A = this chain, B = another copy of it.
């Protein structure tokens, strides 16, 4: 299965026969990541160096780097000096988007499954945020005096289950209501709003997954605008619902927050002609349209 591997004393990793060269490179880098030898911000050795060190060809190194790049683990830059070369990062969102989008394209993922998964995550996010608010409120009511007396600032992010930061979300809502965004702009802001809620939980896994789910069906969402009876009426309703979601979270009411998110998302996709996202059923055939968005 393997072509002749350059057996000229690789400097670092033993080559495992039976695997492909680029897999060895990938495993080598993953090992360094797990060991902490490589961390976000670090430079990878140059492709040529890596190739000679590992005893593989440069093209094999490049295939591995390409994979890592698509997986959101590194970014490359031509030229010289700091900032050039391959640098370790950890940006899962783009990778999630590509993965889900391509799986949808290849019919591995159904659009309504994507939507209903998004529904699960978003309702959970809203519920958790509301619960966190309720918890923080309760704690605050009991501790406020003592904390102030001790001189300990009630810094939301440094103490226990802190108060979620909803200001990014509300700022986006302000932006949506000012100016007169086009449907596409509006939907972009809408995506940012939902993402900001996920980010308020500080759970990167949820944030990245939600971003991916949302991005991968962005084209369908935009295409759905054509199915609406009245964009003006729909967007007004969406704005109201956004405020209701934030209010429910601020009130510390998980039930209301989850329900608000649920009806918000379900409502739009129903209006936009997706058919309602079925929770469990092997639902009817889903519409297929919109041109191919280019690779992100």
Q: Which residues does A use to contact B, with CB under 8 Å?
A: 1, 22-23, 26-27, 30-31, 33-35, 38-40, 59, 62-63, 66-68, 70-73, 78, 88-92, 95-96, 98-100, 102-103, 105-110, 113-114, 116-117, 120-121, 124, 128-129, 131-132, 157, 160-162, 164, 201-206, 208-209, 213, 278-282, 291-292, 294-295
| Shortest CB distance A44–B (Å) | 12
| Shortest CB distance A24–B (Å) | 9
- Bound CA–CA A116/B213 (angstroms): 18
Partner of A157, one of B1, B91, B209, B282: B282
Known: A70-B70, A78-B1. A33 touches B279 (CB 8 A): no
Contact (Cβ within 8 A) B92 A108: yes
Contact (Cβ within 8 A) B280 A132: yes
Partner of A113, one of B88, B121, B162, B205: B205
Contact (Cβ within 8 A) A35 B292: yes
Q: Which 10 pairs of residues, A with B, have the shortest CB-CB distance?
A: A90-B108, A161-B281, A132-B280, A33-B105, A34-B292, A120-B124, A113-B205, A117-B205, A90-B106, A63-B66
Q: Report which residue of A67, A108, A110 has the largest number of chain B beta carbons within 10 angstroms of its beta carbon.
A: A108
| 17 more A-B residue pairs beyond the given contacts A30-B292, A116-B205, A164-B280, with a C-beta to C-beta distance below 8 A | A27-B292, A30-B102, A40-B107, A62-B63, A63-B66, A70-B71, A71-B98, A90-B106, A92-B108, A103-B208, A108-B208, A113-B206, A117-B205, A117-B206, A117-B209, A129-B280, A160-B281
Q: Report which residue of A100, A107, A109, A280 has the largest number of chain B beta carbons within 10 angstroms of its beta carbon.
A: A280
| Shortest CB distance A227–B (Å) | 20
